[in-house]
């Protein structure tokens, strides 16, 4: 507490505006708990950049933490490119203060002589990634906290390839940020260096999404789609993309088509949560729709629901959705004679191992990185000119088609998944059956589940750290009745075979993640979130399947097995 108080007192100097000083003094006088959480550490870059609760303090998102981050970024850009005109694209979402923060960030950049392309209003995160490359910018910034609660906002940095920054570059930028003193921040911007962008970029982005996410016109006029932006940014882009791609029966949830940083109709604006799609499913049942598609506030994640064989609408999990997308893409590439073994799909360490099976089926590679799409984008960067990236995704409802965008992209994904549903319907089948058919083709059905344990504040962070220490010092010997035979510790970079004792070095960056593998093929990953106060448990099980008629029975067994795994982790 004493260090928090000392940090807070620094914010009472004349370097901070009067409103900030008053708010800090109020915390000192009246709210020691909030004071401690606001000042006990500095807001850091995680897997999604800098994200936090808005308010005063070093551990909050505000004028000064954003100003420091941007001044540090400006210093890095100016040092990296000393003899050229430099430019940065800026986008923002519908959250409270996002537009104000975006202008503040633009002012700091222009005060440092850097040209800014600023969107006229809120736009999807994948459009920012596209824009960086489309306009030839040196970097990009998006103000967003994705699907976090309304009190959050965030700041993500992209480099000139349209991908989020990764080590060692992020460390170099953070180093610059840490060297910024409050009086170093240049807040007085130059509006002459700001170009407002909008429709022209939108049109180019939509054209690119339709080109990359469309392979056939079959069935597009017959498929009935319910779409919801869940009060977020996709409302300005995705309906136009659907129309351009040839879908004629797209129905929006009207109440959720209203942009709002309060996300008033949902508990959480996260399409991973079934509750977030409740209104969309109700509309789908009312009008007899075939598929439901929902996106999160910054429109990088997408949730998909479809009718099962009993006619009920069920939400596909991220692994299931991505299984169908990756398999369909590879089928289309194979049909076109474009596969030669020098292609790859991308995945992450906590995503289903089915992507290894899919890659092997088509004779290509599956590359796996840490959690977060910046690592899949980094694969593209590393193998550019050597191997061709076809598509990739992670379990948290994100997918990317091709490399024209270097981040997860709900717009192109929505078009592609709708096309698959349309093609299946034209065959008298369904999106749901496509998934089962893929399992049968691979000879193995998979089932995954996820549990989030939320532990807010300083005490929560300490508890999560202790939980990970306990897992390392007292690892489970058996899970769901099956012996643990292998443990991957991404913090020590060791992959240990518990049967032979053999240890193999893990050749990807370090991260605080543990993965346990059992004798029967089950997999459990434990990972503290890099952007939220929670620890996540990822469960994956699989079983042999020989024909579509076995699926119901196999699926039920897999569900029971995941429940047993959850029990073992309390």
For residues 342 and 363, is the Cβ–Cβ distance under 8 A?
A: no
CA distance 295 to 230: 6
3-state secondary structure 451-506: EEEECCHHHHHHHHHHHHHHHHHCCCCEECCEEEEEEEECCCCEEEECCCCCEEEC
For residues 394 and 318, is the Cβ–Cβ distance under 8 A?
A: yes
Give the C-alpha distances (Å, rounded to integers) separating 240 from 63, 142, 154, 206: 35, 22, 27, 8
DSSP notation for 278-335: HHHHHHHHHHT-SEEEEE-TTS--EEEEEE-TTS-EEEPPHHHHHHHHHHHHHHHHHH
- Cα torsion at 26, 29, 33, 37 (round to 10°)? 50
Task: Catalytic residue, from 4, 68, 87, 146: name it.
Answer: 146
Q: Which helix (H) or strand (E) holds 139?
A: strand 139-143
CA distance 417 to 200: 26
3-state secondary structure 494-546: EEEECCCCCEEECCCCCCCCEEEEECCCCEEEEEECCCCCEEEEEEEEEEECC
Establish whether the linkage from the previous residue to 70 is cis, with ω within 30° of 0: no
3-state secondary structure of 89: strand
Instruction: Choose among 144, 143, 85, 136: nearest CA to 110.
Output: 85
CA distance 111 to 190: 6
Question: Angle CA(517)–CA(522)–CA(523) in degrees, nearest 5?
Answer: 55
137 CB-side CA count, 13 A = 26
3-state secondary structure of 117: strand
For residues 132 and 245, is the Cβ–Cβ distance under 8 A?
A: no
Q: Is 146 a catalytic residue?
A: yes
Catalytic annotation, residues: 146
């Amino acid at each position: 507490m004493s260090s928090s108080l000392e940090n807070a007192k620094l914010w009472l100097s004349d370097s901070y505006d009067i409103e900030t000083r008053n708010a800090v003094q109020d915390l000192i006088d009246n709210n020691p708990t909030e004071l401690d959480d606001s000042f006990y550490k500095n807001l850091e870059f995680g897997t999604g950049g800098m994200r936090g609760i808005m308010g005063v303090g070093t551990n909050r998102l505000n004028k000064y933490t954003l100003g420091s981050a941007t001044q540090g970024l400006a210093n890095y850009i100016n040092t990296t490119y000393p003899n050229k005109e430099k430019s940065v694209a800026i986008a923002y979402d519908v959250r409270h203060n996002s537009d104000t923060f975006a202008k503040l960030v633009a002012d700091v950049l222009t005060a440092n002589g850097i040209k800014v392309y600023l969107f006229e209003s809120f736009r999807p995160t994948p459009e920012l990634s596209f824009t960086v490359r489309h306009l030839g910018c040196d970097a990009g910034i998006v103000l967003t906290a994705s699907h976090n609660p309304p009190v959050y906002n965030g700041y993500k940095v992209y480099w000139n390839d349209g991908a989020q920054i990764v080590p060692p570059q992020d460390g170099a930028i953070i180093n610059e940020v840490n060297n910024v003193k409050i009086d170093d921040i240049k807040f007085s911007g130059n509006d002459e260096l700001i170009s407002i962008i909008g429709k022209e970029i939108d049109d180019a982005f939509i054209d690119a999404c339709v080109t990359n996410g469309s392979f056939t016109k079959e069935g597009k006029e017959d498929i009935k789609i319910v779409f919801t932006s869940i009060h977020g940014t996709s409302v300005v882009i995705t309906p136009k993309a659907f129309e351009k791609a040839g879908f004629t029966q797209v129905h929006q949830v009207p109440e959720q088509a209203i942009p709002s940083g309060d996300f008033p109709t949902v508990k959480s604006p996260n399409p991973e949560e079934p509750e977030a799609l409740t209104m969309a499913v109700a509309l789908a049942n009312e009008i007899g729709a075939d598929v439901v598609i929902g996106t999160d506030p910054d429109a990088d994640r997408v949730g998909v629901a479809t009718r099962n064989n009993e006619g009920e609408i069920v939400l596909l999990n991220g692994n299931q959705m991505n299984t169908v997308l990756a398999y369909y893409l590879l089928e289309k590439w194979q049909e076109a004679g474009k596969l030669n073994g020098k292609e790859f799909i991308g995945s992450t360490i906590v995503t289903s191992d089915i992507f290894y099976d899919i890659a092997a089926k088509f004779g290509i590679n599956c590359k796996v990185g840490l959690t977060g799409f910046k690592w899949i984008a980094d694969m593209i960067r590393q193998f550019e000119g050597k191997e061709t990236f076809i598509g990739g995704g992670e379990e948290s409802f994100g997918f990317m088609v091709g490399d024209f965008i270097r981040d997860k992209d709900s717009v192109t994904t929505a078009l592609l998944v709708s096309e698959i549903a349309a093609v299946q319907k034209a065959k008298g089948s369904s999106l749901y059956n496509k998934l089962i058919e893929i399992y049968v083709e691979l000879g193995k059905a998979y089932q995954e589940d996820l549990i989030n344990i939320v532990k807010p504040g300083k005490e929560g962070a300490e508890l999560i750290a202790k939980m990970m220490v306990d897992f390392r010092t007292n690892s489970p010997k058996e899970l769901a009745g099956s012996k643990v035979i292998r443990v991957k510790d991404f913090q020590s970079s060791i992959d240990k075979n518990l049967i032979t004792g053999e240890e193999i070095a893990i050749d990807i960056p370090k991260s605080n993640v543990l993965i346990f593998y059992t004798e029967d093929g089950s997999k459990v990953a434990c990972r503290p979130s890099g952007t939220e106060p929670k620890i996540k448990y990822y469960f994956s099980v699989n079983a042999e399947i020989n024909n579509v008629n076995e699926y119901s029975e196999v699926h039920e067994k897999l569900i029971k097995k995941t429940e047993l795994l959850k029990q073992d982790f309390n």
